[in-house]
Structure 1
Amino acid sequence: MAAALGTSPTIVEYFEGEDFYRCGYCKNETGSRSNGMWAHSMTVQDYQALIDRGWRRSGKYVYKPVMNQTCCPQYTIRCRPLHFQPSKSHKKVLKKMFKFLSKGEFSRGNNEEEPMDSQMDDAAVDDFVLKSKLDIQSDHRPLSEDYNEVVESEVKEKEENLETKETKELNQSHAKREKLGSGEPSRSVKVVPSAPKPGKGADLSKPPCRKAKDIRKERKRQKLILKSQTDKLEGSQIQHEPQSLPSEKPKLNQPKSVEDFIFDTLPEDAAHQLEVRLVPVAFEDPEFKSSFHQSLSLYAKYQMAIHKDTAAECGEAEAENPPEGPDCGYGSFHQQYWLDGKIIAVGVIDVLPYCVSSVYLYYDPDYSFLSLGVYSALREIAFTRQLHEKTFQLSYYYMGFYIHSCPKMRYKGQYRPSDLLCPETYVWVPIEQCLSALESSKYCRFNQDTKAVDEERIKELDQLRVLYKRTVMPYNIYKKRQKGPSDEAIVQQYADLVGQTCSERMLLFRS
């Protein structure tokens, strides 16, 4: 929950590859391994470059899994919000929220869509984006297929209604005969429908029932005929009227966007009011300061209920380490979800030069029936699209890590279109191209170009920047002043992991 992004120069302490520790996903006691850095300060530009090389942050601790050694490789995943369309499962969550806000209706039953909590490792908080338990199915079918499903369901419904109607009429007939025969009010009598009379078949006055498959074939045939006629007509018009502009074809019904659901107008007598406030993580900000204690109480309630933390582990020091406030609109923010004047959830996000990065979500467990993990992710996607309208290059939504070897963590891959980061060449590859390889092996190189290499790999350490005895210097000068055993191997490991640009821009603290 703590923030570590600001505008001061980036100063980091690097920790050599840590020992293996307990994995929060497969529970292997010695299966997980990562490299880490403590960020005394960090700019948004440097953090953007680091997450594009597979790093993530938990407060001021920045870490990178050792992908080819850890038991559950964690691949950086990003969604492309500009092309995102909510799936059926996403729509279900959005409709559920609207129904709750407008009418106050909800179900506390077995809710498959409740957010899934990230597993908390001892050495590093392995995953920050709390989303959903639901194995969300992607919804990328053409409108015609959706229409086919409607037709099939209507045919089935009509058949069921017809059977129900006939059974009801039979029951009424039996009850009527019972009543007339006894001369007394009818009692509760179990009526077994009799078999239909011989020779009684379908109602010839109505068109025969057709299979949905035949309906689809007929509809496709009609479309082809219509298209052929339209093409001929347009060709004729072009031939005889070369100066006339072609008429615009009517637009097909566009699917509803995530904004259409989120910002749907509530009735005047709505049961609840939900407000989402964006608050910079800085104590000098009045709004952040005024809501801090309520936010902290919610954080403690969430951590104790979901992650079984003790009250001492949920103290103020654990909750916040605020940086300097961003001057240009980038940095760390809280998206506070206020329901009827009370905070029920807080999404911690980083607004970076090219993306919105989801860091963490904590919420009131009493409202888990609203699937706040899924809902907050959709709100953050909509927020990214909103920022893109004003800042063109900001066009991605980073969701943390995708862990294919852990089935419960695959849901992030259903916020599509999305890409996974190749752990060797650091290029983005559409997730559809990665899944077959991940089925065969936990660790994969996604870049199919066998000659491709890490373009940011560092060749010379001389220009790497070091902060030594409160003085900034290039590494070749630091080596001459260094006393004691050489640390070149550790510095080389750091440089390989952060890349050329960051190594020459960030300050590596050496004592």
Structure 2
Amino acid sequence: MSTTVTSVLQDLGESAERTHCGYCASRRRRRPASEDDPATRGTGQDAPCHVLLASLWAHLLLSEDYKALMDAGWRRSGCFLYLPDNRRTCCPQYAIRLPVEAFRPSRSQRRVLRRWTAYATPVDSLSRLCLSGDEDEMDAEVDQAEKSAATLPEERKSSPTRLADAMNGMRRCNTSAAASHRSATEATSAPIPATGHLTPRANLDEQLEALRRIEPTLRPVPPARRAASGGAHYMTAAAFSRAHHSGEAVEVVAQRIADALRPHEALVREVLVCGGYVNVHARQEPLHVPTSSRLSPANTRCSPRRSTPTHRLRMQLVEAAFRSDAFALYCRYQRAIHGDDEHELTPHRYARFLVQHPFPRYPHATSRDGAYHLHTYLDERLVMVGVLDVLPGAISSKYLFYDPELPSRLSPGVFSTLCEVRLTRELFREPFYYMGYYIHSCGKMRYKAAFRPSQLRCGFNGQWVDWATVARPALDRDEHCDGFAEAAGDPERCENGQPVAGVAGAPSPAPAWHAVSVWWPDAGAPKPLHALPDRLRAQVLPSISRFARHVPHRVLARSVYIPPAVE
């Protein structure tokens, strides 16, 4: 007799907790009571910090069902699954993911990899995979300007003239640089500037003129002040004057200017926003030549790339299980980073949070799906643990904890994410890397959006939209905005304004109720809904109808449903 494994989900209903919020506690921000919230209407109380549309306990959960739930906005903590109510919670949480094939490390992210390369030598296949290919990715980024015309998003293709101007400007820059190099070679020797930098002036002037067609207020940054501007070649403070006349926030105006400059990859390598200033890193770097001052004994510190590593780096991917060294590392991390009290750091809480999982175990199966821990060792000492879910079509990052004594310049969070992205693409060959939730007003979450092109889930149409061009402008205007496409002026992409499963106010679906299996104590075993006695069926219908608003129909139809009243 063959048995079919299916998910077993117990409905826990809605939840509204008035405990403190770890994301906004430092900002002391609490939402006032809302007349639309029956929990606080007329009470004068603060709105709840954590509000869930739905929650459940997964006694058993197939990996493909959890992937479908994640695409509907759900996340898990151990065996507990929850769906935030972004309209009422204090810190709206939006599901975020990264298409790994389109990802290219930024300059700062490549710098993190170089620091690890200089700090430690990889000694196993996993660590070599994570630290290899840095040069190839940098070359790919340079070649991206030539390939961009075929891979541009739709919003960039709508401006072919501006793109052509930028490409032509880049060609003129290259021609001018070659001419400058020939002239310098044929001329008599001239004294080298004391700064040690020889800048092809004509090249940068041509580049500046091309960029001024996009942003006329750009000005060159003097070489002596580039270090204070993060190495930027050009800068504009136009956001201050424009915000003064328009009444908008200066950060919003500065971000709009940066968004206009970023698409022109032929000229711009990176655009950074700091307050109301926009710093532009040009694609063409100045030439560096050594001088006696740079080679003086006081400045003989080697660059990270050329320094000799003094540590050994090893990585190991293991199935999620309780290990004493990982638990000790978790306690050190929680004390130092999150300020947890000792009574909170118990083996039971740790195991329930990061070890237990609802995925089935098949003793003789070849499936690689399930919960894993990625251990990172320095000189055989455990210094970092990443908690991952391997699912069909995606790798989901659940949590990371590391040794708080690691040098801050190693950026453990960024390094771990870079490693997991590479494992997603090269080892598991899955298309997406899920990074949990993104909170727009939380500084701890900003690193997630720095992995471009990140996508956020739109709460109206359930589709994944680009963070930089669609989601961010909407969240800048309203942090509690669910329908990014509607806020961006494209309501037709939001299914005529009707929210889908996972959004408060979504229309109740009408699935084939006879296909839903229900477990009830009096029934003895899971039975189809239509086979329950009339009294029990009448009790189950309201809860299952509400639950079905937030769960994909294909998951509910093939799962065993346990109503909230069951204990």
The secondary structure found in structure 1 opposite 2:532 is helix
- Hey, what's the Cα distance between the residues in 1 that align with 2:21 and 2:381? 36
Residue 451 of structure 1, aligned match among 482, 486, 495: 495
The secondary structure found in structure 1 opposite 2:539 is coil
| Counterpart in the other structure of 1:168 | none
Give the Å deviation of 1:347: 0.2
Give the Å deviation of 1:415: 0.8
| Counterpart in the other structure of 2:431 | 395
| Counterpart in the other structure of 1:381 | 421
- Hey, what's the Cα distance between the residues in 1 that align with 2:87 and 2:205? 52
Residue 348 of structure 2, aligned match among 317, 320, 323: 317
Is the 1:56–1:64 contact (alpha carbons within 8 Å) kept by the matching residues of 2?
A: yes
Residues 1:481 and 1:473: Cα distance change in structure 2 (over 3 Å):
farther
Is residue 22 of structure 2 the alignment partner of residue 24 of structure 1? Answer: yes
Is the 2:388–2:396 contact (alpha carbons within 8 Å) kept by the matching residues of 1?
A: yes
Give the Å deviation of 1:385: 0.4
Residue 298 of structure 1, aligned match among 306, 329, 333: 329
Give the Å deviation of 1:383: 0.4
Give the Å deviation of 1:426: 1.2
Is residue 517 of structure 2 the alignment partner of residue 465 of structure 1? Answer: yes
The secondary structure found in structure 2 opposite 1:434 is helix
Give the Å deviation of 1:71: 2.5
Is residue 8 of structure 2 the alignment partner of residue 11 of structure 1? Answer: yes
Which blocks of at least 5 consecutive residues in structure 1 are unaligned?
A: 1-6, 104-137, 166-206, 221-251, 256-265, 283-288
- Hey, what's the Cα distance between the residues in 2 that align with 1:56 and 1:26? 20
State, as a whole percentage, how many aligned pairs show the same letter. Answer: 30
Is residue 40 of structure 2 the alignment partner of residue 33 of structure 1? Answer: no
- Hey, what's the Cα distance between the residues in 2 that align with 1:43 and 1:396? 19
Residues 1:267 and 1:160: Cα distance change in structure 2 (over 3 Å):
closer
Is residue 473 of structure 2 the alignment partner of residue 436 of structure 1? Answer: yes
Give the Å deviation of 1:74: 1.0
- Hey, what's the Cα distance between the residues in 2 that align with 1:159 and 1:322? 70
Give the Å deviation of 1:18: 1.0
Q: How does 1:195-206 map to 2 (within 5 A)?
A: none
| Counterpart in the other structure of 1:499 | 552
Is the 2:119–2:309 contact (alpha carbons within 8 Å) kept by the matching residues of 1?
A: no
- Give the total of aligned pairs: 369
Residue 382 of structure 2, aligned match among 343, 346, 363: 343
Residues 1:63 and 1:90: Cα distance change in structure 2 (over 3 Å):
same
Is the 2:73–2:457 contact (alpha carbons within 8 Å) kept by the matching residues of 1?
A: yes
| Counterpart in the other structure of 2:290 | none
Give the Å deviation of 1:373: 0.5
- Hey, what's the Cα distance between the residues in 1 that align with 2:389 and 2:308? 36
- Hey, what's the Cα distance between the residues in 2 that align with 1:492 and 1:160? 81
Is the 1:299–1:363 contact (alpha carbons within 8 Å) kept by the matching residues of 2?
A: yes
- Hey, what's the Cα distance between the residues in 2 that align with 1:312 and 1:18? 25
Give the Å deviation of 1:55: 0.3
| Counterpart in the other structure of 2:232 | none
- Hey, what's the Cα distance between the residues in 1 that align with 2:312 and 2:170? 33
The residue type paired with residue 375 of structure 2 is Q
The secondary structure found in structure 2 opposite 1:425 is coil
The residue type paired with residue 530 of structure 2 is N
Instruction: Tell me the TM-score normalised to structure 1 length.
Output: 0.64
Instruction: Tell me the TM-score normalised to structure 2 length.
Output: 0.58
| Counterpart in the other structure of 2:193 | 162
Residues 1:208 and 1:405: Cα distance change in structure 2 (over 3 Å):
closer
Is residue 210 of structure 2 the alignment partner of residue 213 of structure 1? Answer: no
- Hey, what's the Cα distance between the residues in 2 that align with 1:331 and 1:437? 35
Give the Å deviation of 1:301: 1.5
Which blocks of at least 5 consecutive residues in structure 2 are unaligned?
A: 31-45, 123-140, 147-166, 182-188, 212-265, 270-304, 486-490, 502-507
The residue type paired with residue 553 of structure 2 is Q
Which protein is bigger by CA-based radius of gyration?
A: 1
Compute the RMSD of aligned alpha carbons.
3.9
Is the 1:277–1:337 contact (alpha carbons within 8 Å) kept by the matching residues of 2?
A: yes
Per-residue Cα deviation, 1:92-112 (whole angstroms, up to 9, x for no partner):
111111121159xxxxxxxxx
The residue type paired with residue 297 of structure 1 is A
Give the Å deviation of 1:267: 9.7
Where relative contact order (Cα < 8 A, 6+ residues apart) is larger, the structure is 1
Choose 468-477 or 87-96, whichever is displaced more.
Answer: 468-477
